[in-house]
Each structure stands twice: as C-alpha cells, then as structure tokens.
Amino acid sequence: MKTPDKTTAQQRADQIHAFNDELAELTREQILSLSDDQQAAIDNYHQGLFDQFSSAFDIDSSQQQKQLSLGMRIASFLGALALAASVFFLFYQFWGRLGTASQVIILSGASITSFVATVIVASKDGSGYFTKLIGLVAFACFVLNIAMFGQIFNITPSDNALLVWAALALLLAYAYDVRLLQVAGVLAIIAFASARVGAWSGMYWLHFGERPENFFPIAIVLFFIPQWIDHQRFGGFALSYRVFGMVTLLTPMLVLAHWGYGSYLNIDPDIIEGGYQLAGFIISGACIGYGIRRGWGHVVNTGVTFFVIFIYTKFFDWWWEIMPKYLFFLLMSLMAILCLVIFKRLRKSEQATEPVTAQAETGGAER
C-alpha cells in the first residue's frame, strides 16, 4: 500500500488501534470470535503497516508515543520561539558596533545559511520537530534581513515587505508541513491585505487598523481557501485558514459594534453599531450551522465563542449600569444554561439523523 503523507499514515494507525480495541471488546462480549489463523493474519498485516509507516514518517504507533509527541511539539515550539528571539536580540546587541558592509554581509549570510540549514535538517529529520525549529529561525532571519536593510539604506517602509515575509513563511510551511510557519504566513497576509485595502481608501498603510473594515475582504478569502485548494496532505492547514478567517471577520465586527466611528460608512454611528451587532449575531450563528452541517468542530467552536461574546457584550451595554451586579451575573449564568440546553438539543438531533443518513447511503449503495 502506498501512503501519500504523514497525516494519512497517522490517521490509518489510529484507525488500526481503534479497530483492535473494538475487536477485543467484541471478543470479550462473545459477539465475534476469530480463529488463530485469522487473528495472526490481521496482526501481521497491521504490524507490517506500522513498520512501513514508522520507517517512512516516524508516526506514533502507541498511546504513550502520542503523549511523548505532544511534549515534543510543545518543546519544539518553545525552542523555536526562544531561538528566534535569541537571534533577534543578538543582532541588536552588537548591531551598532558594525560597519555597513559587515551588517549587509551578516544579514545576507544569516538568511541564506538558515534557509540552507532548514533544507538540510528537513532531509534528515523524519519527525519534523527540528525542521520546525530551524525553519522558524530562518523566517526570523529573513524578517530581520528585510527590516534591517530598510534601516541601513533608509528605505521608506512599505507593506510589500509583509507580502515577501508571507511568501517565505508559506513556502517553508508547505514544503515541510510546518503549521507554525503557515500561521506566521497567514498573519502576514492578513496584515498585507488589510494595509493594501486601507491604502486604496486613501490612508497611510501603517494606519490600516484604524478602519476595522479593512480586514473583511481577506477574512472571506481565508475562510474559503480550503474550499478552492485541497489541503488534505497538510495536517491542520485548512483548520487554520478557516479559524483565522472567522476571527479576522468577526473581531472587527465586534469592534465596530461598539465603535461606529471607525467605519467607512458615513451614517449615524449608532446605526452602524446596531447593524454590526446584528451582523455579528447572524454571521456567528450561520457559522455554527454551517460547521455542524459540514462536521467542522473548529468552525462550530469559533462561531459559538463569538456568538456568546456578542451576547455578553450586548447585555453589558444594556444592564451593567442599571442592574445590581449579582442580578447581572445571575442573568449571565442563565444565558449560559440556555445555550447549553440549545446545543444539547442540536446534538441530540444530529445523533438522531446520523442513523437515517447512514441507512440512506447504504440503500443507495445497494441499488
């Protein structure tokens, strides 16, 4: 069997563990009993898959290994941040003592060396943890390169630097399946696109945050990128795009729901605030429904989070100053209970429709 990527291999390994656990339970309940030859054939087949996956992708073949891998991911993340910060402060510690030629050579050499080191480490690191660490250092060196060159040669700051940073981050992320660098690239794209929209409206690009509506176009694009481009080979990339798309859309709406003067619309700020409050409820609710229908838990959770935030902030505006504090927080708790009841009923309705859907699919397959 040919396995295309590490994510698919890990999913298959998890399926094998789940199958073995269920098979053991069925055997204990005397519902199913395999002969020794059948059990041996299954065990040998699964062991062969584990050996193939482990040699090719360094997957977690046991629960203990998965727990250790979580610790390794945390350690590599913290180590990458610490090493990138170390490089950053090292530059600034000795920067003023160097001549212009030395500064240019060091900046260029650091960027090229770290990039080459990332390529070399990735070719030898099956786990990907060291690749993540060195890749983030390469990205930090490149960011420093562009930023410091601008200072050395007195170049006017431009939002194009954000696009270049995003390009390198996404290049490394997709080449070596490093989600942390994908997040860095997405953040740079958000900043670039929002700054460019602000510049098109006539403001200086560094002031793009003064108009939260600048974030809306890129937010919509980010959410639908996984719909247009298949990300099945890249673990968690689609999730990051959707979550960042929702956050980039709903956070400015939350700001405008309480600060109508920040809008481009030349109408009464109270009307703007009311409109964005309503839009926030509608869009977060729509995201919840869409996430449930598509089976995207991250979309549902993000939508629920913003829906609750919109509710609580609205209640705060209405009742915080006129209502006793104990009564206000009691009302908040009752709203939380109401949300729990609603989501519990939605959950039960989904459970009730699953057998019907499965039966319909089975019937269609038989026909």
- For the chain, what are the domain ranges? 1-54, 70-155
CA angle 185, 89, 96 (to 5 degrees): 120
The reported pLDDT for the residue numbered 357 is 44
Residue 245 · residue 220 · CB < 8 Å: yes
The reported pLDDT for the residue numbered 194 is 95
The reported pLDDT for the residue numbered 162 is 94
Query: Which phi-psi region, left, alpha or beta, contains residue 268 (left: φ > 0; alpha: ψ -120 to 50)?
Result: beta
| Torsional sign, CA 297, 298, 299, 300 | positive
The reported pLDDT for the residue numbered 327 is 83
SS3 236: coil
Where helices occur in 156-268 by DSSP H, the ranges are 160-176, 179-200, 216-228, 237-256
Which pLDDT tens digits describe the chain residue by residue (367 residues)? 555 566 777 778 888 888 888 888 888 888 888 888 888 888 888 888 877 777 766 676 666 777 677 777 777 778 777 877 777 787 777 777 778 888 888 888 888 998 999 999 888 876 677 888 888 889 988 988 898 888 888 888 899 999 999 999 999 999 988 888 999 999 999 999 999 999 999 999 999 999 999 999 999 999 999 999 988 888 789 999 999 999 999 999 999 999 999 999 999 999 999 999 999 999 999 998 899 888 898 999 999 899 989 988 888 887 777 778 788 788 888 887 887 787 777 777 666 555 544 444 444 434 4
Alpha carbon separation from 277 to 110, 252, 257, 311, 318 (Å, rounded):
48, 11, 5, 9, 13
